[in-house]
Structure 1
Amino acid sequence: MKSVMSWNEWSNLDAIGLADLVRKGQITPREVAQQVALAIDALNPAINSIIEVFDDAVNDPMKDGTNPDGAFAGIPFLMKDLGPTLKGRLQEMGSLLMRGNRSSADSFLTTRIRQAGLNIIGRTTTPEFGLCSSAENPEVYITRNPWNLDYTTCGSSAGTAASVAAGIIPIAHATDGGGSIRIPAGVNGNIGLKPSRGVLSVAPYSSDLMGVVSAQGCHTRTIRDTAAFVDSCRGGAPGEFMPYWMPPQPYSELIRRDPKRLRIAVSHEWGDYQSTPHIVAELERAAGFLEELGHHVEWVIPDINFHAAYTAQTECYIMNFSQTISGLLEQKGLERPPADLIEPMCIRVWEEGRFASYSQRAKMQGVFNETSRRLAAFFENWDIILTPTMALPTPLVGTKEYLTISDNPSVSDWFENLWRIFSYTPIANLCGLPGISLPMAELENGMPLGIHALTRQGDDGLLLQLGAQIERALDGKWNHGRRPAVHVTEIDAAPQQLSSITGSRRQE
């Protein structure tokens, strides 16, 4: 295999840009897939973001039903190893228990992704069952941040975030049960939209009535790629209960014009949680930038019961993940999680939630309802809630307090640690709201920091419109025009330097 273009040219093209070249006959889907495979060979030893490459899909991009006439014209796509399934392919969910697990059918969203013209060529890393904040169990894999290999990518869309940030691929699949699209997008300098509940299908293996907190999506480096993905992949499968949102016009058209003057409520003090002074300063800078764009900006905290919301979130995740683990154990004929195959906190979550009563679930859903109604009322007066994507700086690799290999004996205390750092994203899952992380800020150490925007349910287009307005104002230079240390352009620029960056990580 050889590259079809220089890595500098490659890094300047988004997915739609590559698709345009394919449609013009200047490159082929096979050549594009092979270029991705070369990038994986060069960079994956350092960041460990991709578990498997489907060589057959690289060599024959249309073999699995990819639609060459779709918006993405056959360009490659990586699927997070969790959520939608691929017939005949492995899905191991970041767990030793699930090693060798092959899917018997495509999920509905998988078919939509292929109809959109995306060629699924591999799997990206995720923590076990997507429960914790990053993919770093040494017995499975350790995924590292391409901006600085000493830091985590966060998660749970860990491998997707690192792959897109490093320039390996312009678009990849992600999922979000409490921030798992937006948090790693913010930490790795990508664009991450969590769509509203009722935009992208979870059928047939998840219930749109019971699995209401989880959402599907993608990571990209341009707003137009995200808009095209949602436009092409949205909609419910036959039999899904959810009334699926359909906008009056495609987002790819909507983003071409600026939004109206928006009422933007800025905040970071949510209940017991607040951001560090530097992150607050970055939020202030972002708010000032939006004011310069003509929007009304004011520091206002949403009027909700934060303590009740966080408590309900904790109960929801304990019950949901416990049932997920119980279902997998039943498939394998096991009565208990094997301690050598399932991580300690996942076992504790299973123990905590497996006997939860319907009354507990109903009470939790009552808080969800109350919080959703209060936020909806808030959005009668405000268009956007603006926060940082995270309240605390990106953790170093091996910070066990956020991981499911933690030895913390208390499940509730472990979740409390998560809320302290990931304070602002789970509310969107609880209420079914859209949220987006935009790469327009940075931490004191130079690592990316996402700025997070929320809006009313079903108004995903407004977030993309605002993102596109910001992108134009920045002349496309997200992350202040900077690139990660581990990046495809290093393959061209300094192969020896790249080797020195990646070499120390090759054995992990």
Structure 2
Amino acid sequence: MTLAMSWDEWAAQDAVALAGLVRQGALTPAELAAQVAAGIAATNAAVSAVVEVFDDVVADPLKDGMDPAGPFAGVPYLMKDLGPTLKGRLQEMGSLLMRGNRAAADSYLAGRIRRAGLNIMGRTTTPEFGCCSSAENPAVYVTRNPWDTDYTTCGSSAGSAAMVAAGVLPIAHATDGGGSIRIPAGVNGVIGLKPSRGVFSIAPAASDLTGLVSIQGCLTRSVRDTALFVDSCRGGAPGEFMPYWTAPESCSALIERDPGRLRIALSHEWGDYRATPQRVEELARVGRFLEGLGHHVAWTVPAVDFRAAFAAQTTCYISNFAQTIANLLAQRGLDRPPADLVEPINIRIWEYGRDISYAERARMQGVFNTTSRAFGAFFEDWDIILTPITALPTPRIGTTEYLTISDNPDVLDWFANLWRNFAYTPLANLAGIPAISLPLATQDNGLPLGIQALARQANDGLLLQLAAQIERAIGGRWNDGRRPGVHVAAP
């Protein structure tokens, strides 16, 4: 098959550039889809990131209602196998229990994505129900990091991060309930924005009141692609419980100019959690770089009760996931999770969380409130908090302590261990504030290390504006211009 571009040419294009070529008549959406399908075929055996390619949509990008007049003009898009549903398509959530599960209807956001001109042409891997740090169960699949396949991609937006990093496509779907956009972005060397509450709808299955911590988004290799996705897909569905705010200026326009002088706090000593010295050095180096761009940078820690916050976050996750599993069991007429179809930690989460009381949830929400107010007070004095994306090195494949196939008998201990590594991302979900991972640093094992920037509620545009300023300053060379070993343009 003759492709529309060489792989070097293809990997140099972001989604905005590809959409421009379609509008000029130089390429068609079908040619773009064929190129992505070929890229998946060339890389997926090494990283196991794509569950399914929709061959019918590759052949006819208009088949499922994609609007070629949308701003993305038919650019291919892969959907994480969790979250928004696609009518008639499989959604198996990384679980043996959900094998063969087909959605009865499109989610609201799926419609927004298609109207934006993104061609949803396949599904990417995720841990079971999105509930752990890696899409890694040999009975289902093992998704590997394209930079070094001995390491995990982390999760839960595992396959999407691997495919974007490997140059297969410039943008893919992701979700984030505690870091699941930002963590895989950080260890795969791509850009991942977790927006504020009230940006992307999760209708009709849930709302910002019932979902509380989880939010939708995308993974990209350019700031302008993320900005255009936010501009094109944001907004609430009819009947939202909470207001879906609009920005006074589009993100795409805002990123064309630099922000003013920002007050940036470097931070990694969050309660009981500390980053490794090498990560602290990388954070300090990025801080010096930002000082060179004219920003005020200093070390400080938000006045947050971190122990209480993480305990409340744990209660939230256990009770949310337990109800998710309970609902799936009820749909199948099951009384409990079958041990041969549901992973051990998820069974323990269901056992522990199914009877959590309203009083416990009320106490949890009280801590959510005080934590959110504490971050709000901090952002009266600071514009940005900068942290490493993780505290510890990315695990090698087969490190089961972070996985839901772990044999840890204590679900609280399992979560406590998770926080020791993934300390800096979950509280943004608790507080509903925006946070972005940028591929600005390197781990001592050679993998990328994302640097996270957090801002006050509804300052998503400021994060993207800072990211765009950085992107211009480095000449667009994220990861110092390096590419992973598994890549469409690799020799």
Q: Where on the TM-score scale, by shorter chain, does this alignment land: which range?
A: over 0.9
Q: Could you tell me which residue of structure 2 aligns to residue 464 of structure 1?
A: 464
- The answer to whether residue 266 in structure 2 is matched with residue 231 in structure 1 is no
1:330 corresponds to which residue? 330
Q: Whole-Å Cα distance in 2 between the matches of residues 381 and 101 of structure 1?
A: 49
Alignment of 1:55-94 (within 5 A): 55-94=55-94
Distance 2:444 2:375 in 1: 32
**Match of residue 127 from structure 1:** 127
CA contact (8 A) 1:2 1:38 kept: no
Give runs of aligned pairs for residues 210-249 of structure 1, distance below 5 A.
210-249=210-249
The code of the aligned residue for 1:417 comes to: N
When normalised by structure 2's length, the TM-score is 1.00
SS at match of 1:489: coil
Name the SS of the counterpart of 1:10 in structure 2: helix
Distance 1:399 1:330 in 2: 32
**How do 1:87-486 and structure 2 match up within 5 A?**
87-486=87-486
**In the TM superposition, what is the alpha-carbon distance from 1:390 to its structure 2 partner?**
0.4
Computed over aligned residues only, the root mean square deviation of the Cα atoms, in angstroms, reads: 0.5
Q: CA deviation at 1:366?
A: 0.3
- 1:270–1:306 Cα contact (<8 Å) kept: yes
Query: Which amino acid counterpart does residue 117 of structure 2 have in structure 1?
Result: G
Deviation of the 1:482 alpha carbon: 0.3
- CA distance in 1 between counterparts of 2:258 and 2:149 reads 37
**1:355-390 CA-partner distances (Å, limit 9, x unpaired):** 010000000000000000111011011000000000
Distance 2:90 2:67 in 1: 22
**Per-residue deviation, residues 6-62 of structure 1 (Å, max 9, x unmatched):** 000000000010000000000100000000000111100000000000001101111
How far apart in 1 are the matches of 2:208 and 2:281?
39
Deviation string, structure 1 residues 161-185 (Cα, Å, up to 9, x no partner): 0000000110000000000000000
CA offsets 1:173-213 (integer angstroms, 9 cap, x no match): 00000000000000000000000011000100112211110
Letter paired with 2:164: V
C-alpha deviations, 1:81-128, integer Å up to 9, x for none?
Answer: 000000000000000000000000000000000000000000000000
Q: In the alignment, residue 431 of structure 2 is paired with which amino acid?
A: C
- Decide whether the 8 Å contact of 1:309 with 1:367 is kept in 2: yes
Question: Structure 1: how far apart are the matches of 2:14 and 2:136?
Answer: 29
**Contact 2:137/2:405 (<8 A) preserved:** yes
Aligned residue for 2:380, secondary structure, equals coil
Extract structure 1 runs of 4+ deviating beyond 4 A.
none
SS in 2 for 1:351: helix
Distance, in Å, in 2 between the alignment partners of 1:446 and 1:98 is 36
Question: Which structure 1 segments of 5+ residues have no match?
Answer: 495-508
SS in 2 for 1:404: coil
Supply the distance in 2 between the matched residues of 1:369 and 1:445 (Cα, whole angstroms): 38
Q: Distance in 2 between matches of 1:288 and 1:59?
A: 49
Q: Corresponding residue for 2:20? A: 20
1:286 Cα deviation after fit: 0.6
Q: Is the 8 A contact 1:170 1:220 kept in 2?
A: yes
SS in 1 for 2:260: coil
For residues 115 and 71 of structure 2, the distance between their equivalents in structure 1, rounded to whole angstroms, comes to 9
User: Does the 8 Å CA contact 1:388/1:450 hold for their aligned counterparts?
Assistant: yes
- Whether the aligned pair in 2 keeps the contact of 1:198 and 1:244 (CA below 8 Å) is yes
Separation in 2, partners of 1:469, 1:411 = 42
State the SS of the aligned residue for 2:440: strand
SS in 2 for 1:172: strand
Quote the Cα distance in structure 2 between the aligned partners of 1:119 and 1:106: 14
Cα separation, 2, equivalents of 1:62 and 1:465: 33
Deviation at 1:63, TM superposition (A): 1.1
Local SS of the residue matching 1:449: strand
- Quick one: distance in 1 between partners of 2:445 and 2:314? 31
Cα distance, 1:2 vs structure 2: 2.5
Give the Cα–Cα distance (whole angstroms) in 1 for the partners of residues 205 and 241 of structure 2.
Answer: 14
Residue 419 of structure 1 and its aligned partner are, at CA, apart by 0.4
Identity percentage of aligned residues: 70
Q: Is the contact between residue 201 and residue 207 of structure 2 (CA under 8 Å) also seen in structure 1?
A: no
The letter for the 2-side match of 1:385 is: I
Alignment-mate amino acid for residue 398 of structure 1: G
| Alignment check: 8 A CA contact 1:191 1:220 kept | yes
Contact 1:2–1:34 (CA<8 Å) still a contact in 2?
no
Give me the whole-angstrom Cα distance separating, in 2, the residues matched to 1:311 and 1:288.
34
What is the CA-CA distance between 1:75 and the residue it aligns to? 1.1
Contact 1:2/1:35 (8 A) holds in 2: no
Deviation at 1:464?
Answer: 0.1
Query: Number of matched residues?
Result: 491
Q: What SS does the corresponding residue of 1:380 show, helix, strand or coil?
A: helix
Aligned counterparts of 2:389 and 2:375: Cα–Cα separation in 1: 18
Hey, what does 2:47 align to over in structure 1?
47
Shift of 1:245: 1.7
Q: Distance in 2 between matches of 1:74 and 1:221?
A: 18
Does residue 29 of the first structure (1) align with residue 29 of the second (2)? yes
